[in-house]
């Protein structure tokens, strides 16, 4: 299942690349801008009452879309997959399912977006807990399989007898809407971790502990006391499956998920001398590409950082630079009670935009005059480009709310618009 490591780890992914240019940013995109796929199998109940739910989410960019409209009619692009699911259970029985899932779009461009998904699920009953499942997906548009070999997931047996599985989702008034991102929790959201038990009455002695994996370490370590969870009282939630609703008995884990930075975590579930571990990620699904590279992220901050801050961001060891980066944005977080920093996310979204829209033969987009103004003020209220007779092309950006106007001119005729009016 394609995943991203923690956001701070990502800042180091391409740290060893030499040079700093438009090409470097494009290298980041080529490595990270790939289709995405998630799946998960959860279950609830005991014996013949065991209800299983397999869910998946697949990027539309994986699929081929074919226009099925008659000639002369508005296009309707149709993508379709055949999904085969084979589940093996503790009693050695095997169940196989085949189901077709499809999606239509009247916009071909949307079918190429990695954050547009085809989602679905398969719901079934069993008398035994699953121990393994195999997924094979065929694109019915071009008759090609998505994976070179079927995807196999082994489900580790639980040491705590009454502990079944973990659910991730949002709960309200006794209803749960699953995250459908595998063992991932969307970054900056109020999603919840719910532990399913076959015997909630017997879960009274359960203890939990949150672990986190630091960005430069291979091992997990205990999270700070302020982030440690509390198990809530036993409850029953209703989950909406693709065919019908069913109940999940268990206990919610209360801890400040929206205070956890993007990264890798683990929750230990202990009962007496037995323990299990639930691994999960706080996952920034649409993280700006410029945050995948420490050099890109810090150098593009030259317009908003003081000389002292900028020196700390761009010199020293990688760990010191990352700490300086975190400190800089922490001071400017508009919602200090959460890990997700809206201001930082918006700034690096703008950085991505400048790389894509304002590069020249000499400079990456953020170094240009238009790039600098865009980083500082965002999308202008209006843009107007003119080509006066016997003069270079000009582009005027206006920001009515800020009462600012900027005029750029392509003085050398090579697409490098220089700021000639405005500050």
Q: Domain residue spans in the chain?
A: 35-155, 158-285, 289-421
- In tens, the pLDDT along 212-244 reads 998 667 899 999 998 899 999 999 999 999 999
Is residue 412 very low, low, confident or very high in pLDDT (cuts 50, 70, 90)? confident
Token pair of 75, please?
């296009």
Rg (CA), the chain: 25
CATH for the stretch 35-155: 2.60.40
- With CA atoms as reference, report the closest residue to 84 among 52, 50, 122: 122
- In tens, the pLDDT along 331-356 reads 999 987 788 899 999 999 999 999 99
The DSSP letter of residue 117 is E
Average pLDDT (140-153) is 94
E strands of 232-342, at which residues?
A: 235-240, 245-254, 263-271, 274-283
pLDDT at residue 294 in the model: 87
Whether the predicted pLDDT of 372 surpasses 60: yes
* Cα 318 to the center of its chain, rounded Å: 24
> What is the spatial distance between Cα 63 and Cα 57, in angstroms, rounded to a whole number?
12
Rounded to whole angstroms, what are the CA distances from 79 to 109, 129, 168, 232? 13, 33, 28, 43
What is the crossing angle of helices 342-357 and 22-32, to 10°? Answer: 110
Whether the predicted pLDDT of 2 surpasses 70: no
Whether the predicted pLDDT of 43 surpasses 70: yes
> What is the spatial distance between Cα 375 and Cα 383, in angstroms, rounded to a whole number?
16
Q: Do domains 35-155 and 158-285 have the same CATH topology?
A: yes
Whether the predicted pLDDT of 59 surpasses 70: yes
- CATH level 2 (architecture), domain 158-285: Sandwich (2.60)
pLDDT at residue 398 in the model: 97
Residues, the chain, total?
A: 423
- In tens, the pLDDT along 270-313 reads 998 999 999 999 989 888 989 888 888 999 999 999 999 999 99
pTM of the model: 0.84
The DSSP letter of residue 72 is T
Answer with the residue of higher pLDDT: 136 or 111: 136
Is residue 21 very low, low, confident or very high in pLDDT (cuts 50, 70, 90)? low
Q: Are strands 184-186 and 274-283 parallel, antiparallel or unpaired?
A: parallel
Whether the predicted pLDDT of 370 surpasses 70: yes
- In tens, the pLDDT along 379-396 reads 999 999 998 888 899 999
Number of neighbouring beta carbons within 10 Å of residue 361: 8
Whether the predicted pLDDT of 259 surpasses 90: no
Token pair of 237, please?
């939630």
Q: Which residues of 310-323 are buried (b: 16+ CB within 10 A; e: fewer)?
A: bebbbeeeeeebbe
Answer with the residue of higher pLDDT: 391 or 201: 391
- Residue 182 zone, left/alpha/beta (φ > 0; ψ -120 to 50; rest): left
- With CA atoms as reference, report the closest residue to 38 among 9, 10, 4: 4
> Across all residues in the chain, what is the average pLDDT?
89
Average pLDDT (63-92) is 94
Token pair of 56, please?
């998946």
E strands of 175-262, at which residues?
A: 175-178, 184-186, 192-197, 207-212, 221-222, 230-231, 235-240, 245-254
């Amino acid at each position: 299942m394609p995943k991203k490591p923690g956001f701070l780890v990502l800042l180091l992914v391409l740290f060893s690349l030499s040079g700093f240019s438009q090409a470097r940013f494009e290298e980041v995109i080529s490595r990270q801008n790939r289709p995405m796929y998630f799946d998960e199998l959860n279950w609830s109940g005991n014996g013949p009452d065991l209800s299983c739910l397999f869910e998946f989410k697949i990027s539309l960019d994986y699929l081929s879309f074919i226009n099925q409209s008659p000639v002369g009619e508005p296009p309707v692009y149709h993508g379709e997959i055949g999904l085969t699911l084979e589940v093996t259970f503790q009693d050695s029985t095997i169940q196989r399912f085949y189901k077709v899932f499809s999606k239509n779009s009247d916009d071909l461009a949307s079918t190429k977006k990695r954050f547009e998904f085809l989602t679905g699920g398969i719901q079934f009953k069993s008398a035994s807990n699953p121990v393994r499942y195999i997924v094979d997906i065929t694109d019915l548009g071009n008759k090609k399989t998505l994976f070179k070999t079927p995807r196999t997931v082994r489900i580790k047996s639980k040491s705590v007898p009454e502990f079944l599985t973990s659910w991730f989702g949002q709960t309200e008034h006794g209803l749960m809407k699953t995250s459908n991102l595998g063992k991932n929790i969307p970054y900056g959201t109020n999603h919840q971790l719910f532990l399913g038990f076959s015997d909630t009455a017997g879960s009274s002695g359960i203890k939990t502990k949150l672990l986190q994996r630091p960005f430069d370490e291979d091992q997990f370590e205990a999270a700070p006391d302020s982030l440690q969870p509390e198990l809530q009282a036993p409850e029953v939630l209703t989950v909406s499956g693709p065919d019908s609703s069913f109940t999940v008995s268990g206990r919610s884990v209360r801890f400040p998920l929206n205070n956890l930075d993007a990264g890798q975590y683990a929750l230990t579930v202990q009962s007496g001398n037995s323990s299990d571990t639930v691994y999960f990620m706080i996952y920034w699904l649409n993280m700006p590409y410029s945050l995948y590279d420490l050099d890109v992220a810090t150098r593009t901050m030259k317009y908003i950082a003081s000389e002292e801050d900028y020196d700390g961001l761009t010199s020293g060891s990688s760990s010191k630079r990352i700490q300086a980066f975190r400190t800089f944005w922490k001071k400017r977080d508009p919602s200090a009670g959460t890990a997700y920093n809206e201001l930082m996310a918006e700034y690096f979204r703008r950085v991505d935009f400048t790389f894509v829209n304002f590069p020249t033969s000499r400079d990456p987009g953020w170094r240009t005059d238009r790039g600098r103004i865009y980083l500082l003020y965002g999308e202008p209220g209006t843009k107007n480009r003119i080509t006066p007779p016997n003069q270079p092309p000009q582009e005027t950006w206006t920001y009515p709310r800020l009462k600012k106007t900027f005029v750029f001119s392509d003085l050398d005729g090579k697409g490098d618009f220089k700021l000639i009016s405005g500050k």
